Amino acid sequence: MYLKSIKAYGFKSFADKTEINFGQNINGIVGPNGSGKSNVVDAVRWVLGEQSIKSLRGDSSVDIIFSGSKSRKPLNSASITLVFDNSDRHLPINYTEVSIKRIMYRSGESEFFLNNENCRLKDITNLFADSGVDKESFNIISQGKIDEILSAKADDRRSVFESAAGVLKYKKRKIEALKKLDRTNTNIERINDIISELETNLEPLKRQSEDAQKYLELKEKLKNIEISLMSHDINNYSYEIKITEDKINEINDELTSLSINNSNYDIEIITKKEELIKVENKITENQHQLVELTKNIEKIDANVRILKEREKYTKKTNEVSSNIIKLKEDLLKLNNNIDNLNLIIDNNTKQLSKLEREKNILEKEIEELNKDYNKINNSIQKNNRDLTDLKYKIDYQERTINNNESLPPSIKNILNNPRLKNYHNVIAKLIEVDDKYATCISMSLGNASNYLVVNTPNDAKEMIKYLKDNKLGRATFYPLDTIKPRAIDEQTLNTIKNIKGFINVASNIVKYQKTYENIILNQLGNIIITEDIESANSISKTINNRYKIVTLDGQIVNVGGSITGGSITNKNNLINEKYELDNKKREYQELINSNKKLEQEITNISKTITSKEKELHEITNSIISINNIIKKTNTEKEDNNNNKDNIARELKDLEAINKDKSKGELEKLLNTYYATINNKNDIENSIELLNKEKQSLSETITELETNSKQSNSYINNKEKELNKLNLNINTINIKMDNLLMRLTEEYNMTYESAINNYKLEIDENIAREQVNNIKDNIKRIDNVNIGAIEEYKRVSERYNFLNSQKEDLHNAEQTLMEIINEMDTIMQEKFLKTFEEIRVEFKKVFKELFGGGEAELTLTEPDNILETGIDIKAVPSGKNLKSLSLLSGGEKTFTAISLLFAILNVRPVPFCLLDEVEAALDDANVESFGKYLEKYRDKTQFILITHKKKTMEFADILYGITMQESGVSKLVSVRLEDIKK
Ligand code: ATP
């Protein structure tokens, strides 16, 4: 391997692109002072990664970039490329030619390239690590450095030997290992600190976590048993309700039929009583007629007696005549009867058809009324269902509000903590708002509706501490003695008062206690309420957007004129919740009122139905009794007709016998007499019949009244039973509602899902006992911190992780110690071996170069090979020098060169760059130096920067560097012949 060429551009004085091609053996670079020769050495060391700007002879890293000259502008970057011939694969890379390049920009950025591929400096250092070429090694010797090897302290000299011994890479690895060890120890300490801190937290956290775990387990167990018990109870309750409802329906049905019966009784009693009155009236009438007839009979009887007295004298009495008269009397009587009966039949038939018409009408009316009844009853049932639903919602919402469910958790925790008392309430609960203003006040308050009003800032502090200690979030407090009222200035108020749409200042439309005046004015005293967004905009414009304006439907024109609007959700909005609750309560009341009205209607209808049914019943009874009368009268009429026929036949026979008998005055009178007698008899019969009818009617009425009384008392008992059952059903319903509510609230579960997923598998009494026991156990666990479970898991995982890390770090520490020991052993062996070899070679080379004399290398601390310095002893022949410093300049250089060659003998390097190392030598010594160089011709490439002509003679190739153009180095060719002449 050898350095084939150096390509420079922008590096120090090499402002132009310059390429120096070197030969494989001895190369010389010559040129006047300051022409840029040493810059070539700097360039090589720079590419190999030299970072010390001092050793590159600059003050800052960008000093290596061409800084301009009188005629040239500065350049922005510097680049150097070294091209190595690697045909012998000295560098461990599969290329015959290896180029390494470094570029630096004025920004200070530096880039490295290996065979034109971007790479890291480390890649280059690693590639050259074992090659004998590196920026530290003895084969690149800058100007004036050769003597430093002798003048340096014994300790500093060590690095040259280390480089030659090839231990630098081990040293580097050891340093890296030591750094890692240091970092590992720091990490172990840090981890130990964290572990011991975690240990102090872990134990209490463990306890808390166990408590929380136990709490959750108990809760879960409670949930399983309680839900199954609840669903079991609900199931039983609904069964009980069903049974009771069936019973209620049964009783209701019975009561309905009983009340129909009862009304029938009533109707019948009334009918019978009316009939009785009629009969009594008829009796009275008949009695009047009877009196009249009796008078008439007495009158006729007197006349008959007078006539009979007269006939005694005429002796015209005859038995036949008297029989005819008797038969005629009978016939007359029968005709009268038949006429009466016809009259009765006629009247009753007319009455019957009238009643049947009425009956039809009544039946239709009852049917219509029943339809109305069912319709209203359905409405009542629906209302009842709606009422139950609303009641549940109202209870739920009331509980939500009372339990502060909708408030932020922080506020809720304060309000629900009995130990914290020094607060009034949240602002939303301290005001009363009319329904129509609920939305605008809610929007006006915004989040402030949940601000908690306290007496003093100290009260607020106590609660903030509580929230902080328990990590319960944040809350805003309004101390009564601190908060100042805010208002709209009078002038503005006067201006806007008359603008269309202005309603009022928000604080004026809410009610509150005087104590809270400052708080309410602070929040609402400077907010204007308007009808709508148009009036809000116009008022805001008038007052130059100086006050916040809120419309009735909750749109906001903010101070400054921005507008907030859109739909409003009720989430966490206490005022709107209160407003909704009021609405529901109103709805509930309206339903109750509507039900009352409907119930009144239904009562009226049912009364009407009852009375119509009574009427119907009466009519039906009348129809029956009239039919009976007609039938009876017809039978009687038939009997009379038969009698009449018989008498007519008998009369015909007698009249034939008594043809001659003249009809006298007496006969006429007798006819009248008998007719009147007949009439009287009829009326007496009729009175007797009517009295019987009266008697029977009175008995029927008494019987009906007894029945009705009995039925009423039975109905009363049934109604009591019904009330009791209704009470039962209500109690069960309440119990069931309570369970359903708890299911929803405590377990967020519907009955359907509870019954489907939770079955009571143990005896219900045992289950109840278990629920009580678990609840007692839960109460006994104080201050449950559920978060502790996760926290403990997280902390213990971290604790375990850190412990395993600690173990890993201890292992790493052990490994690093082993590596360091290994490195030390290798370095000691290599260093000692190389030192020994160099020592032998140095003695030999010194003698050869000086032509005699003595030289020796010794270790300052042979027992401490890793740190020992190296002493050089050199005594040229014939001299007796005690110290190196007593050597002449040339002797010193020559001794150092001896050491250089000794090292090259022990550890040959591919190339060697020497900047005027021989400057101090006289020609004879330069000659020896040159000859010695030649010995290495085949092993090592030399690049010699020199002013010595003698040295130049040994070079195979010679380059000249000049600075023709002021400030820029140029490469010129030098003819060897000219030198050697
Ligand atoms: P000598 O024979 O005296 O040792 P030399 O040939 O080795 O001289 P160098 O030391 O290599 O000379 O070069 C020094 C020259 O490089 C100086 O003229 C200096 O101005 C120039 N130089 C150094 N850095 C820069 C830079 N960044 N830009 C321009 N020129 C620079």
Q: What is the mean pLDDT of residues 900-905?
A: 88
Q: What is the mean pLDDT of residues 2-18?
A: 93
Bridge partners of 556, per DSSP, are 550, 564
Q: What is the pLDDT of residue 40?
A: 93
Q: What is the mean pLDDT of residues 127-148?
A: 76
pLDDT confidence tier of residue 76, bands split at 50, 70 and 90? very high
**Backbone angles phi and psi of 504, in degrees to 5:** -175, 180
Q: What is the mean pLDDT of residues 158-183?
A: 86
Is the Cα torsion angle 665, 668, 671, 675 positive or negative in sign? negative
pLDDT one-digit tens code per residue, 485-540: 999 999 999 999 989 999 999 999 999 999 999 999 999 999 999 999 999 999 99
Is the Cα torsion angle 432, 433, 435, 439 positive or negative in sign? negative
Examine the pLDDT at 1 and tell me if it is beyond 60.
Answer: yes
Q: Which two tokens stand for residue 787?
A: 């978060």
pLDDT confidence tier of residue 588, bands split at 50, 70 and 90? very high
* Cβ-Cβ contacts under 8 Å for 670 (sequence gap 6 or more): 304, 325, 329
Q: What is the pLDDT of residue 100?
A: 95
| 926 Cα–ligand 1 center, Å | 25
Q: What is the mean pLDDT of residues 855-882?
A: 87
Burial class (CB in 10 A: 0-12, 13-18, 19+), 691: middle
Mean pLDDT of the chain: 87
Compute the distance between CA of residue 959 and CA of residue 22 in angstroms, rounded to an integer: 9
- Cβ of 184 closer than 6 Å to ligand 1, yes or no, is no
Q: Which two tokens stand for residue 415?
A: 């309000």
Q: What is the pLDDT of residue 312?
A: 60
- Cβ of 31 closer than 6 Å to ligand 1, yes or no, is yes
Q: In degrees, to the nearest 5, what angle opens at C-alpha 710 toward C-alphas 709 and 715?
A: 95
- Cβ of 35 closer than 6 Å to ligand 1, yes or no, is yes
pLDDT one-digit tens code per residue, 237-252: 989 999 998 999 999 9
pLDDT one-digit tens code per residue, 331-342: 888 888 888 888
Q: What is the pLDDT of residue 505?
A: 95
pLDDT confidence tier of residue 893, bands split at 50, 70 and 90? confident
Compute the distance between CA of residue 647 and CA of residue 641 in angstroms, rounded to an integer: 10
| 384 Cα–ligand 1 center, Å | 110
Q: What is the pLDDT of residue 135?
A: 65
- Cβ of 33 closer than 6 Å to ligand 1, yes or no, is yes
The ligand 1 atom nearest the CA atom of 13: 30
Compute the distance between CA of residue 468 and CA of residue 376 in angstroms, rounded to an integer: 60
- Cβ of 39 closer than 6 Å to ligand 1, yes or no, is yes
Residue 121 contacts residue 31 (beta carbons within 8 Å): no
> Which amino acid would we find at residue 696?
S
Q: What is the pLDDT of residue 115?
A: 94
| 895 Cα–ligand 1 center, Å | 29
Q: What is the mean pLDDT of residues 711-736?
A: 90
DSSP-assigned states of every residue in 926-972: HHHHHHHHHHTTTT-EEEEE---HHHHHH-SEEEEEE--STT--EEE
Percent of the chain topping pLDDT 90:
39
Torsion of CA 762, 766, 769, 771, to 10 degrees: 0
| 194 Cα–ligand 1 center, Å | 57
Q: What is the pLDDT of residue 660?
A: 46
pLDDT one-digit tens code per residue, 365-404: 999 999 999 999 999 988 988 888 888 889 888 888 877 7
Decide the pairing of beta strands 452-454 and 477-479: parallel
| 152 Cα–ligand 1 center, Å | 26
Examine the pLDDT at 460 and tell me if it is beyond 80.
Answer: yes
HSE-up (13 A, CA, CB side) for residue 777: 17
pLDDT confidence tier of residue 419, bands split at 50, 70 and 90? confident
Percent of the chain topping pLDDT 70:
96
295-309, 544-558, 928-942: range with highest mean pLDDT: 544-558
For the entire predicted model, the pTM comes to 0.46
Strands, DSSP E only, in 559-699?
563-564
Q: What is the pLDDT of residue 980?
A: 58
The ligand 1 atom nearest the CA atom of 961: 6
| 949 Cα–ligand 1 center, Å | 21
> Which amino acid would we find at residue 394?
I
Compute the distance between CA of residue 468 and CA of residue 730 in angstroms, rounded to an integer: 47
Q: What is the pLDDT of residue 807?
A: 93
Bridge partners of 551, per DSSP, are 530
Nearest CA to ligand 1 atom 14: 34
Q: What is the pLDDT of residue 402?
A: 79
- Cβ of 34 closer than 6 Å to ligand 1, yes or no, is yes
| 529 Cα–ligand 1 center, Å | 86
Is the Cα torsion angle 518, 524, 528, 531 positive or negative in sign? negative
Q: What is the pLDDT of residue 298?
A: 86
Higher per-residue pLDDT: 133 or 161: 161
Nearest CA to ligand 1 atom 28: 66
pLDDT one-digit tens code per residue, 611-639: 899 989 989 998 999 999 999 999 999 99
Compute the distance between CA of residue 547 and CA of residue 524 in angstroms, rounded to an integer: 11
Q: What is the mean pLDDT of residues 1-22?
A: 93
Q: What is the mean pLDDT of residues 464-492?
A: 90
| 13 Cα–ligand 1 center, Å | 6
The ligand 1 atom nearest the CA atom of 41: 11
Compute the distance between CA of residue 502 and CA of residue 531 in angstroms, rounded to an integer: 6
CA dist list (Å): 234 to 229, 386, 623, 775: 8, 21, 56, 21
Q: What is the pLDDT of residue 662?
A: 44
Nearest CA to ligand 1 atom 12: 34
Mutate to test the pocket of ligand 1, among 9, 39, 80 (most ligand atoms within 8 A of CB): 39
| 808 Cα–ligand 1 center, Å | 54
Residue written as tokens 């000794």? 902
- Cβ of 479 closer than 6 Å to ligand 1, yes or no, is no
Q: What is the pLDDT of residue 817?
A: 93
Render the burial of 37-68: b for 16+ CB within 10 Å, e for the rest. bbbbbbbbbbbbbbeeeeebebeeebebbbbe
| 34 Cα–ligand 1 center, Å | 5
Residue 529 contacts residue 489 (beta carbons within 8 Å): no
Burial class (CB in 10 A: 0-12, 13-18, 19+), 612: middle
Higher per-residue pLDDT: 71 or 3: 3
Nearest CA to ligand 1 atom 5: 34
Residue 616 contacts residue 266 (beta carbons within 8 Å): no
pLDDT one-digit tens code per residue, 189-219: 999 999 998 888 888 889 889 989 999 999 9
